[in-house]
Amino acid sequence: MPEISYRHALNAALSEEIERDENVFLIGEEVAEYNGAYKVTEGLWKKYGGKRVVDAPISEAGFLGLSVGASMMGLRPVVELMFWSFIYVAYDQLVNNAGTVRYMSGGLVNCPLVVRGPANGGTNVGATHSHTPENMLANMPGLKVVCPATAYDAKGLMKTAIRDNDTVCFMENTLLYGESWEVPEAEYLIPLGVADVKREGADISLIGHGRALLTALQAAEVLAEKHNINAEVLDLRSIRPLDEEAILKSVRKTHRAVLVEENRPFCGVAAQISSMIHEKAFDDLDAPVLRVSSLDAPAIYSPPLEKLQLPTIERIVARVLEIC
């Protein structure tokens, strides 16, 4: 199978969906003529023209709200946020409009919308540009949240997200855009709400999403090599819907879990999952579920410190050793 980058996989998914459905269009800052601030939409404007790939002014509330309105009438906008951090200037449009209009209309209206862009720290762009809002948006019933960790998942999930009839918040990672994975050339879809065992193991479950999952995979190697601990690594892929069955299945097998996330800890995704595991698998657990999140401060600029602020292999290993 050919290896392609996470960026390229997204680009292919967008391209294929634009071709498949005339109602799909991309909109965002610099997505067209500039080819995307992170080049995810490279070549698409040239190929599909200005109707299908639209450069927008710096008016996130305006063009995200526009997209919600257009989706109400049956279009399928894919909105790029240059950073998910900028959702905070358009939060009301996403949460109150896309998030509630189906409900408040008793099902008369729906919003088949994808909002996508990178949501990560670790690139020294400071506190305002490094938010990871997956926990907050998944708090809102009506919205869906997806955080792919690999090129394969990014492509399959993006295609599903675009075809989904609800609003999907699709969170990518600038640090992954350049990384490559095997991706088949034939079309495939990955359903939302289905987690993926990225490494089988028997001694402990490492559970996470996005780039933290990759860190967990590296930690699993260290655990195997240095500590003779065989960790299972479960990639949530989708935060809402959430594959609780897969989580519980893994934990019932390993009886131990460490949750890994780049979210900040207070009410992070791992808080929800920890609470759920304890509630539903209390008697299966040989130890409390532990968490590894970003260090609990705004994202620091200073490059060496920001590396420490995100979950590190060392922190994951240390957490695992506390309970193994």
Partner 1 sequence: MEKLAEANEYAAAEVNRNLTNEQKIGFMLDMFRIRRFEQEAAKQYSQGKMGGFLHLYIGQESVAVGTVSVLGEDDHVITAYRDHGHALAVGMGMDECMAELYGKKTGCSQGKGGSMHYFAPEKNFWGGHGVVGGQTPLGLGLAYALKYKGLTGCVLCFMGDGAVNQGPVHESMNLASLWDIPVIYIIENNGYSMGTSQARSSAFGECLAARAEGYGIDWDVANGESLYEIRAKTAQAVERAHKESRPTVLEIDTYRYEGHSVADANKKKYRTAEEIEKYKTEHDPLRLWRKVLVEEGVLDDQAADALDREAKREAIASAKFAAESDFPGPEAIFEHVYHEVDHDTVSGRTGKHFFND
Ligand X SMILES: Cc1ncc(C[n+]2csc(CCOP(=O)(O)OP(=O)(O)O)c2C)c(N)n1
Could you say whether residue 89 binds ligand X (CB under 6 A)?
yes
Omega of the bond prior to 241 within 30 degrees of 0, cis? Answer: yes
Residue 106: partners with Cβ closer than 8 Å, 6 or more residues away? none
> What part of residues 1-40 is at the interface with ligand X (CB under 6 A)?
29
Of the residues 70, 82, 204, 216, which one makes contact with ligand X according to CB under 6 A: 82
Min separation Cβ 254 and its own copies, Å: 16
| C-beta closer to ligand X: residue 29 or 306 | 29
DSSP readout, 127-151?
Answer: GGG---THHHHHTSBTEEEE---SH
> Residue 23 class from Cβ within 10 Å (0-12 exposed, 13-18 middle, 19+ buried)?
middle
Closest distance of CB 270 from its own copies, Å: 7
**Comparison of 58 and 267: residue with beta carbon closer to ligand X:** 58
Q: Give the separation between CA 263 and CA 311, rounded to whole angstroms.
A: 9
The answer to whether the CB of 183 falls within 8 A of the CB of 152 is yes
Binding region for ligand X (CB under 6 A) out of 82-90, 106-114, 117-125, 177-185? 82-90
As a whole number of angstroms, the distance between CA 150 and CA 66 comes to 30
Interface ranges with its own copies (CB under 8 A): 61, 85-86, 88-89, 91-92, 95-96, 99-100, 103-104, 126-128, 131, 135-136, 138-142, 240, 264-272, 274-275, 278-280, 282, 287-291, 296-298, 300-301
Q: Who contacts 113 (Cβ-Cβ below 8 Å, separation ≥6)? A: 67, 68, 71, 76, 77, 78, 79, 98, 167, 168
Question: Which does residue 302 bind out of its own copies, partner 1, ligand X, none, counting CB within 5 to 8 angstroms by kind?
Answer: partner 1
Nearest CB to ligand X, comparing residues 2 and 57: 57
Determine whether 209 is an active site residue. Answer: no
**Which residues does the annotation mark as catalytic?**
60, 129
